Structure 1
Amino acid sequence: MKKIILTLSLLIGLTAVTFAQCEKTVELSSSKTNHLDEKGTITRSDDETAVIDISKTAVDISVNGEHKITAPIKSNTCNWTVPFKEGKTVIKATADHDGQDENITITIEGKDGKVTLLFEMESQPGDKIKVGIDKFTEKV
Protein backbone atom coordinates (compact mmCIF):
# COMPACT_ATOMS: atom_id res chain seq x y z
CA MET A 1 0.00 0.00 0.00
CA LYS A 2 2.85 2.39 0.82
CA LYS A 3 4.38 1.74 -2.63
CA ILE A 4 1.09 2.60 -4.33
CA ILE A 5 0.74 5.83 -2.36
CA LEU A 6 4.37 6.76 -3.08
CA THR A 7 3.94 6.03 -6.80
CA LEU A 8 0.73 8.08 -6.97
CA SER A 9 2.42 10.95 -5.12
CA LEU A 10 5.32 10.93 -7.58
CA LEU A 11 2.97 10.89 -10.58
CA ILE A 12 0.92 13.75 -9.18
CA GLY A 13 4.11 15.71 -8.47
CA LEU A 14 5.46 15.16 -12.00
CA THR A 15 2.11 16.13 -13.51
CA ALA A 16 2.08 19.34 -11.44
CA VAL A 17 5.63 20.22 -12.53
CA THR A 18 4.82 19.53 -16.19
CA PHE A 19 1.59 21.56 -16.06
CA ALA A 20 3.34 24.42 -14.25
CA GLN A 21 6.02 24.50 -16.95
CA CYS A 22 3.36 24.82 -19.64
CA GLU A 23 1.85 27.85 -17.92
CA LYS A 24 5.13 29.78 -17.69
CA THR A 25 6.34 32.62 -19.88
CA VAL A 26 9.54 31.55 -21.61
CA GLU A 27 12.16 32.98 -23.92
CA LEU A 28 13.83 30.74 -26.49
CA SER A 29 17.02 31.81 -28.27
CA SER A 30 18.62 30.43 -31.41
CA SER A 31 21.66 31.32 -33.49
CA LYS A 32 20.88 29.46 -36.74
CA THR A 33 17.74 29.28 -38.88
CA ASN A 34 17.09 26.46 -41.34
CA HIS A 35 14.43 26.76 -44.06
CA LEU A 36 12.84 23.45 -45.06
CA ASP A 37 10.70 22.38 -47.98
CA GLU A 38 7.54 20.27 -47.61
CA LYS A 39 9.65 17.09 -47.39
CA GLY A 40 11.82 18.47 -44.59
CA THR A 41 14.91 19.01 -46.76
CA ILE A 42 17.01 22.06 -45.84
CA THR A 43 16.82 24.59 -48.67
CA ARG A 44 18.66 27.45 -46.94
CA SER A 45 20.47 28.14 -43.65
CA ASP A 46 21.07 31.53 -42.08
CA ASP A 47 23.33 32.44 -39.17
CA GLU A 48 21.07 34.85 -37.30
CA THR A 49 19.89 35.42 -33.77
CA ALA A 50 16.24 34.62 -33.19
CA VAL A 51 14.44 35.29 -29.91
CA ILE A 52 11.01 33.76 -29.36
CA ASP A 53 8.99 34.94 -26.35
CA ILE A 54 6.02 32.74 -25.45
CA SER A 55 3.41 33.78 -22.89
CA LYS A 56 -0.02 32.36 -22.10
CA THR A 57 -1.59 34.63 -24.72
CA ALA A 58 0.95 35.39 -27.49
CA VAL A 59 4.16 34.51 -29.28
CA ASP A 60 6.62 37.33 -30.12
CA ILE A 61 9.45 36.67 -32.57
CA SER A 62 12.47 38.91 -33.18
CA VAL A 63 15.33 38.21 -35.59
CA ASN A 64 18.68 40.00 -35.24
CA GLY A 65 17.06 42.43 -32.80
CA GLU A 66 14.25 43.38 -35.19
CA HIS A 67 10.71 42.52 -34.11
CA LYS A 68 9.08 40.35 -36.77
CA ILE A 69 5.68 39.19 -35.49
CA THR A 70 3.32 39.05 -32.57
CA ALA A 71 0.88 36.17 -32.86
CA PRO A 72 -2.04 35.76 -30.45
CA ILE A 73 -2.30 32.13 -29.32
CA LYS A 74 -5.51 30.29 -30.26
CA SER A 75 -4.54 26.94 -28.68
CA ASN A 76 -1.60 25.43 -26.85
CA THR A 77 -1.07 21.69 -26.38
CA CYS A 78 1.73 20.96 -23.96
CA ASN A 79 3.15 17.59 -22.91
CA TRP A 80 6.63 17.48 -21.36
CA THR A 81 7.82 14.44 -19.42
CA VAL A 82 11.07 16.15 -18.42
CA PRO A 83 10.67 19.95 -18.27
CA PHE A 84 12.57 21.76 -21.05
CA LYS A 85 14.30 18.52 -22.18
CA GLU A 86 11.84 15.79 -23.21
CA GLY A 87 8.41 16.52 -24.60
CA LYS A 88 6.43 18.61 -27.02
CA THR A 89 4.37 21.78 -27.25
CA VAL A 90 2.18 22.63 -30.25
CA ILE A 91 0.95 26.23 -30.48
CA LYS A 92 -1.69 27.34 -32.97
CA ALA A 93 -1.73 31.10 -33.46
CA THR A 94 -2.72 33.85 -35.89
CA ALA A 95 -0.19 36.34 -37.23
CA ASP A 96 -0.49 39.41 -39.43
CA HIS A 97 1.24 38.56 -42.73
CA ASP A 98 1.16 41.39 -45.28
CA GLY A 99 -2.09 42.76 -43.82
CA GLN A 100 -3.83 39.38 -43.75
CA ASP A 101 -4.44 37.05 -40.81
CA GLU A 102 -2.29 33.95 -41.25
CA ASN A 103 -2.69 30.70 -39.33
CA ILE A 104 0.62 29.46 -37.98
CA THR A 105 1.73 26.39 -36.08
CA ILE A 106 4.75 26.40 -33.80
CA THR A 107 6.00 23.03 -32.61
CA ILE A 108 8.61 22.94 -29.84
CA GLU A 109 10.06 19.50 -29.27
CA GLY A 110 12.65 18.11 -26.91
CA LYS A 111 14.41 14.82 -27.60
CA ASP A 112 17.47 13.53 -25.79
CA GLY A 113 17.84 16.94 -24.13
CA LYS A 114 17.96 18.82 -27.47
CA VAL A 115 15.13 21.32 -28.09
CA THR A 116 14.03 22.44 -31.57
CA LEU A 117 11.31 24.77 -32.82
CA LEU A 118 9.45 24.36 -36.12
CA PHE A 119 7.49 27.34 -37.49
CA GLU A 120 4.90 26.72 -40.22
CA MET A 121 2.60 29.14 -42.03
CA GLU A 122 -0.57 27.57 -43.41
CA SER A 123 -0.24 29.41 -46.75
CA GLN A 124 3.43 28.47 -47.24
CA PRO A 125 3.80 24.70 -46.74
CA GLY A 126 6.97 24.72 -48.85
CA ASP A 127 8.87 27.05 -46.50
CA LYS A 128 9.01 25.78 -42.94
CA ILE A 129 11.48 27.30 -40.51
CA LYS A 130 13.36 25.13 -38.02
CA VAL A 131 15.73 26.36 -35.35
CA GLY A 132 17.76 24.60 -32.70
CA ILE A 133 17.17 26.21 -29.33
CA ASP A 134 20.46 27.32 -27.75
CA LYS A 135 18.91 28.83 -24.64
CA PHE A 136 15.60 28.24 -22.84
CA THR A 137 14.83 30.82 -20.12
CA GLU A 138 11.82 31.17 -17.83
CA LYS A 139 10.65 34.76 -17.48
CA VAL A 140 9.10 36.11 -14.33
Structure 2
Amino acid sequence: MKTKFNLKTSLFALLLILAGTTVTFAQCDKTATLKSSTTSYVDDKGTVLRSKEEETTVTITKTDLTIAPGDHEMTGKISYQTCDWKVPFKEGKTVVKALMSGDGDDKHVTVTIEGKAGKVTLTFEAEEMIGKKIQVVADKFE
Protein backbone atom coordinates (compact mmCIF):
# COMPACT_ATOMS: atom_id res chain seq x y z
CA MET A 1 0.00 0.00 0.00
CA LYS A 2 2.83 2.39 0.87
CA THR A 3 4.58 1.63 -2.44
CA LYS A 4 1.38 2.43 -4.34
CA PHE A 5 1.09 5.78 -2.49
CA ASN A 6 4.76 6.64 -3.18
CA LEU A 7 4.35 5.78 -6.85
CA LYS A 8 1.23 7.97 -7.15
CA THR A 9 2.96 10.83 -5.32
CA SER A 10 6.06 10.51 -7.51
CA LEU A 11 3.98 10.40 -10.68
CA PHE A 12 1.98 13.47 -9.60
CA ALA A 13 5.20 15.38 -8.80
CA LEU A 14 6.65 14.44 -12.20
CA LEU A 15 3.51 15.69 -13.96
CA LEU A 16 3.71 19.03 -12.09
CA ILE A 17 7.36 19.44 -13.10
CA LEU A 18 6.56 18.65 -16.73
CA ALA A 19 3.66 21.11 -16.73
CA GLY A 20 5.91 23.86 -15.33
CA THR A 21 8.59 23.10 -17.90
CA THR A 22 6.03 23.25 -20.72
CA VAL A 23 4.82 26.68 -19.57
CA THR A 24 8.41 27.97 -19.48
CA PHE A 25 9.23 26.62 -22.94
CA ALA A 26 5.94 27.92 -24.38
CA GLN A 27 6.75 31.39 -23.05
CA CYS A 28 10.26 31.21 -24.53
CA ASP A 29 9.02 30.18 -27.98
CA LYS A 30 6.74 33.21 -28.30
CA THR A 31 7.72 36.52 -29.89
CA ALA A 32 8.70 39.08 -27.26
CA THR A 33 8.95 42.82 -27.84
CA LEU A 34 10.57 44.93 -25.14
CA LYS A 35 10.73 48.73 -25.17
CA SER A 36 12.99 51.13 -23.29
CA SER A 37 13.30 54.92 -23.13
CA THR A 38 16.93 55.24 -21.97
CA THR A 39 20.11 53.68 -23.32
CA SER A 40 23.18 53.48 -21.07
CA TYR A 41 26.70 52.87 -22.31
CA VAL A 42 28.81 51.08 -19.69
CA ASP A 43 32.37 49.81 -19.40
CA ASP A 44 33.35 46.22 -18.63
CA LYS A 45 33.12 46.95 -14.87
CA GLY A 46 29.52 48.19 -15.15
CA THR A 47 30.32 51.90 -14.73
CA VAL A 48 27.92 54.07 -16.74
CA LEU A 49 29.95 56.17 -19.19
CA ARG A 50 26.94 58.03 -20.62
CA SER A 51 23.18 57.74 -21.03
CA LYS A 52 20.94 58.76 -23.89
CA GLU A 53 17.19 59.32 -23.89
CA GLU A 54 15.88 57.37 -26.88
CA GLU A 55 13.22 54.78 -27.53
CA THR A 56 14.72 51.37 -28.15
CA THR A 57 12.68 48.38 -29.30
CA VAL A 58 14.04 44.83 -29.04
CA THR A 59 12.11 42.01 -30.71
CA ILE A 60 13.03 38.38 -30.20
CA THR A 61 11.37 35.59 -32.16
CA LYS A 62 12.26 31.92 -32.19
CA THR A 63 14.78 32.56 -34.99
CA ASP A 64 15.44 36.34 -35.25
CA LEU A 65 16.64 39.27 -33.15
CA THR A 66 15.88 42.90 -34.03
CA ILE A 67 17.30 45.86 -32.11
CA ALA A 68 16.02 49.32 -33.04
CA PRO A 69 17.42 52.24 -31.03
CA GLY A 70 15.95 55.52 -32.30
CA ASP A 71 15.83 55.51 -36.10
CA HIS A 72 18.58 52.87 -36.46
CA GLU A 73 17.86 49.13 -36.84
CA MET A 74 19.98 45.98 -36.67
CA THR A 75 18.67 42.49 -37.43
CA GLY A 76 20.13 39.02 -37.25
CA LYS A 77 19.48 35.31 -37.09
CA ILE A 78 19.74 33.77 -33.64
CA SER A 79 22.53 31.19 -33.45
CA TYR A 80 22.14 30.37 -29.75
CA GLN A 81 19.46 30.93 -27.14
CA THR A 82 18.85 29.90 -23.54
CA CYS A 83 15.70 30.68 -21.65
CA ASP A 84 15.03 30.19 -17.94
CA TRP A 85 12.19 32.25 -16.46
CA LYS A 86 10.52 31.38 -13.17
CA VAL A 87 8.02 34.24 -13.75
CA PRO A 88 7.87 35.35 -17.43
CA PHE A 89 9.84 38.58 -17.90
CA LYS A 90 9.92 39.30 -14.15
CA GLU A 91 12.24 36.66 -12.64
CA GLY A 92 14.70 34.80 -14.82
CA LYS A 93 17.14 35.07 -17.66
CA THR A 94 17.49 34.68 -21.41
CA VAL A 95 20.75 34.76 -23.35
CA VAL A 96 20.66 35.25 -27.13
CA LYS A 97 23.59 35.22 -29.57
CA ALA A 98 23.28 36.48 -33.12
CA LEU A 99 25.25 37.98 -36.01
CA MET A 100 23.60 41.40 -36.35
CA SER A 101 23.64 43.49 -39.52
CA GLY A 102 22.73 47.13 -39.97
CA ASP A 103 24.10 50.22 -41.69
CA GLY A 104 26.64 48.05 -43.55
CA ASP A 105 28.18 46.86 -40.28
CA ASP A 106 28.11 43.31 -38.87
CA LYS A 107 28.54 42.53 -35.17
CA HIS A 108 28.61 39.29 -33.20
CA VAL A 109 26.20 40.17 -30.39
CA THR A 110 25.26 38.54 -27.10
CA VAL A 111 22.11 39.91 -25.49
CA THR A 112 21.42 38.98 -21.88
CA ILE A 113 17.92 39.70 -20.62
CA GLU A 114 17.70 39.39 -16.87
CA GLY A 115 14.74 39.89 -14.58
CA LYS A 116 15.16 40.52 -10.86
CA ALA A 117 12.39 41.73 -8.54
CA GLY A 118 10.26 42.63 -11.57
CA LYS A 119 12.95 44.86 -13.17
CA VAL A 120 14.16 43.59 -16.56
CA THR A 121 17.58 44.71 -17.82
CA LEU A 122 18.93 43.99 -21.30
CA THR A 123 22.70 44.00 -21.75
CA PHE A 124 24.19 44.04 -25.26
CA GLU A 125 27.78 42.97 -25.82
CA ALA A 126 29.50 42.83 -29.21
CA GLU A 127 32.74 40.91 -29.77
CA GLU A 128 33.88 43.84 -31.91
CA MET A 129 33.41 46.34 -29.04
CA ILE A 130 35.73 44.97 -26.34
CA GLY A 131 35.22 46.50 -22.89
CA LYS A 132 31.98 48.26 -23.85
CA LYS A 133 28.38 47.24 -23.19
CA ILE A 134 25.02 48.79 -23.85
CA GLN A 135 22.23 48.45 -21.28
CA VAL A 136 18.56 49.29 -21.32
CA VAL A 137 15.88 48.74 -18.70
CA ALA A 138 12.63 47.53 -20.22
CA ASP A 139 9.72 49.93 -19.70
CA LYS A 140 7.13 47.61 -21.27
CA PHE A 141 6.63 44.24 -22.93
CA GLU A 142 4.38 43.10 -25.75
Please give the TM-score of this superposition, normalised by the length of structure 2: 0.87
- Distance in 2 of aligned mates of 1:27 and 1:98: 22
Counterpart position of 2:90: 85
User: 5+ residue gaps in structure 1?
Assistant: none
* CA shift digits 1:15-56 (9 cap, x unpaired): 000011111111001111111011110000111111111111
Larger helix proportion of the pair: 2
1:96 partnered with 2:137: no
RMSD: 1.6
Larger strand proportion of the pair: 1
CA 1:96–1:126: 2 relative to 1, 3 Å: same
Q: Say which one has the larger Rg.
A: 2
Match of 1:75 among 80, 99, 109: 80
- Distance in 1 of aligned mates of 2:22 and 2:127: 33
SS where residue 18 of structure 2 aligns? helix
CA 1:87–1:28: 2 relative to 1, 3 Å: same
The size of the alignment, in residue pairs, is 136
Counterpart position of 1:41: 47
Counterpart position of 2:3: none
* CA shift digits 1:52-88 (9 cap, x unpaired): 1111111111123x24201211111111122221111
Matches for 1:1-140 after TM superposition, within 5 Å: 1=6, 2-64=8-70, 66-96=71-101, 99-137=104-142
* CA shift digits 1:77-123 (9 cap, x unpaired): 11112222111111010012664532110000111121110001101
- Distance in 2 of aligned mates of 1:114 and 1:106: 16
